[in-house]
Structure formats: C-alpha cells, structure tokens
Amino acid sequence: MFGYYMELALRSLKRSRALTALMILAIALGIGACMTTLTVLHVLSGDPLPGRSATVFYPQLDPRDMTDYEPGTDLPDQITWVDGMNLLRSHRADRQALMVGGQVATQTTDEHTDPFFTQARYTTADFFPMFDTPFRYGQGWSSAEDDARSRVAVISSELNDRLFNGQDSTGRTVRADGNDLRVIGVLKHWRPVPHFFDLNMGNYSGSEDIYVPLGTARDLHLARMGGISCWGKGSGEESKMETAQCTWLQFWVQLDSPAKASAYLDFLTHYAQEQKAAGRFERPANVRMLDLMGWMNDQKVVPGDVRLQAWLALGFFAVCLINTIGLMLAKFMRRSGELSVRRALGASRGSVFMQLLMEAGMVGVVGGLAGLFLAWFGLWLVRLQPAMYAQLAHLDVPMLCLTIALAIGATLLAGVLPAWRACHVAPALQLKSQ
C-alpha cells in the first residue's frame, strides 16, 4: 500500500505543479531560516565538556573592601593570587587548576626563524586531565614540576606543525619571549566551544598555542593578558601582582560527586569567614560555586541577538506552515470529487487520509532538501560576518538529520487538518453534483 499511496501522491503533485511549487517553497524558506539560526544557537550553546560539565565548578569569593558595598552585589569573576594559592594548596578538590591567559613571541632555537606572537595559557598541572585535553605526543607536566617551576611547555598541534613540521617535538626546545622551554607534550586539535575556562579572552576565542606552568610564567615575566579588577591600594603593577589587591586569575575545580560539591562549598564559606576574621576580607563572607553550564548561563555567553534571531526564525517558520496548511486545504478540497469517487469504489476514510498525508510528506521531503541548501547558504553568510563566533557556524550531522526530520514532521502536521477536512466531505453530495 505504501508504494500505491506514493504513486497516487506523485500523480497528484504533478497535476498541480504551481501549487506544489508554492508549498515546497514555503517549507524550504521556513526550514532554511529556522535551521540557519538554530544551528548557530546549537553551536554556541553546546556543552564544551560533554558528560563531565556537571562535575566541573567555578568557585567565587569576594575579597574586596567596603568601598561602594551594597548587599547582593555581584561577586568578582576572578580571584587574587593569594586566594588562588591558598585554595590550590588546600587540595580539597579531586582536581583543581589556577590559570591566566597571555601572549608570547614564539620561535624555535633556530636563529634564522622570526618570532611570531601566539596566545598562551599559564596554568597548573590539573588543567589537562580536568578538561580532558587530547594529546598527540607526550603529556602534561606534573604537580612536582609546578612546584619546581620547571621550564617546560605543552604546545598545540597547530604550533607544532608550524615550528616542527608536525613531527614529534617532545624533548625539543621552543622559545617564548626569549626564554627556552622544553616541549613535553603536543595536543591534538582542541578548541572547546565556548572558551569557557577564561571568558576574558573572548567567549568564542580560539584555543591557546602554548601552555606553561603558572609559576614558571611568573618567574620568566611572560606577558599576561585578560581582565583585572583592583581596589584599595591595588595598582595592577605587574611586578606586584602576587600581593596586589586585584583579581586576575581563574580557578576551576573538579568534584566528582554532589557530596563533594556540597563539602567544597562549605569549605569555601569557612575560608571566607577565616579571611574576614584575619582582616583580609572586609565584606560579609559571600561565596558561590556554579557548575560549568551554570557559569556560562550566568555570564550570558550566548549573544542575546542569536537567541532573538532563533525565536524570529521559528515565528517565520510557523507563518510558512500556516501558509502551507492553507495551500494544502485548497488543493485537497479541490480534489473532493476525485476523493469521493475513491470512497464510493470502496476506499476507507483511513486509506484516503493516509494517501493525503503521504502527499504532504513528499512535499516535506522535497521542501526539507531545498531548505537544507538554503541553510547551508545562510550559514555561509553567517561565516562572512566579523563576529568571533562566525567561523563556528557549520551544519553538523545531528542538525542535518534534524533539518530533514523537522521538514517532514512539520509538513505532516500541517497536512493533518486539510486531509481530515477532505476525508469528511460527504461522497454522495460530491457525486450528485458531478
């Protein structure tokens, strides 16, 4: 019966080519606009650590003085060096990483190569296992190398290709701002979206090319980048950042169970109370700890205009569906005489209904394929924009499947009312009028 219904549907669609083309165009335009914006939203709001984001947290403290204090004031987005070191040395989390971004002039030891600037990350040993960074060669450094402030580095696959022609460069030397660092690891291509662990560098910035132990970076005076907020006598002078009243570091922890997360939050509260009692913190003890997805929602990582565009596109798609319902209703009711003859010859109301839904489904398939090409074109236009996230706009396999499924499902839904109306026309009245 499926083949028979398809044959009848094809004949019907061919008989009304103009009406069929209008229905396909309506579905294609709606799908194209909808999937373009939904794909961008899907890419920008995705989970950068699938399966692990619920166990990675961003603790926050308030070490500021009482200047401009108001109850309920937002907490600083970063922490001071003193607090970062205190929390790091407490070893209360399963894993923990203290970090800041930077930029360095990079080259090999070959004097004939010119240095070039690359993005850097100065961090601690747990960064790599906590964020599940994939290694192509070697591995990250250890906590002992953190403590020893060893002159080691992990580099990206892209930097390895540029400096060492993609060969295994572990054990070789890379020069950062004139300082020699031994390469101990090379990452595979890794670009978490969004750039969640340091939003100061840009919500959708690319991954860093060189990773250096935080203590080593401070010893070598490697250039730091990112946000900084000071109060009181904090000047932000680079040579005094370890003691300055400034927040400039990011601190992440991994807590593998809800019980550990609850215990760590209690620890943060007690820590803030102790610092207030010691006179370092002036404001009432105030702490917070959001998981990764909660942190991104709090920081409004996804641009508001992207969400607005998605809602507008869904509204446009709804208008296209309403137009399709009207066109199908006109088409099916115009064939009421033909359908009545089928009913008079013994076809059941359910059979006629399925035949009409098959016709709607075929419109959905063709409209979905046309909409897919329009979505690809729309995403190409998005990638031409100067926005930082523009180059991420690509249609992946899940969204491709969703495009076809949405087109067919929506068209079938749109065809229910017209098919139901056409099936409930009294055959006797139609035949008598012929």
Who wins on pLDDT, 194 or 8? 194
- pLDDT, residue 432, reads 47
- pLDDT, residue 11, reads 66
Tell whether the model's pLDDT for residue 15 goes beyond 80: no
For residue 309, the cross-strand partners are none
- Per residue in 296-340, pLDDT (tens digit) is 989 888 877 788 888 888 888 888 888 888 887 777 766 665 665
Helix (H, G, I), strand (E, B) or coil at 28: helix
Q: In this structure, are residues 375 and 35 in contact, taking their beta carbons and an 8 Å threshold?
A: yes
The structure tokens listed for 410 are 């929506």
Q: Which residues are CB-neighbours of 277 under 8 A, at least 6 positions away?
A: none
CA distance to 8, 12, 81, 198, 415, per residue, from 331 (Å): 14, 9, 72, 56, 11
Annotate 253-278 with b (16+ C-beta within 10 A) or e (fewer): bbbeeeebbeebbebbeebbeebbee
- pLDDT, residue 340, reads 58
**Amino acid at site 223:** A
Who wins on pLDDT, 121 or 32? 121
The arithmetic mean of pLDDT across residues 194-217, rounded, is 90
CA distance to 9, 134, 237, 279, 331, per residue, from 431 (Å): 22, 72, 92, 95, 18
- pLDDT, residue 51, reads 87
Tell whether the model's pLDDT for residue 79 goes beyond 80: yes
pTM, two decimals, is: 0.80
- Per residue in 223-264, pLDDT (tens digit) is 998 888 988 876 667 778 888 889 999 999 999 999 999 999
The dihedral region occupied by 400, where left means phi > 0, alpha psi between -120 and 50, and beta the remainder, is: alpha
Q: In this structure, are residues 132 and 52 in contact, taking their beta carbons and an 8 Å threshold?
A: yes
- pLDDT, residue 86, reads 95
CA distance to 84, 110, 121, 128, 180, per residue, from 151 (Å): 21, 19, 14, 17, 7
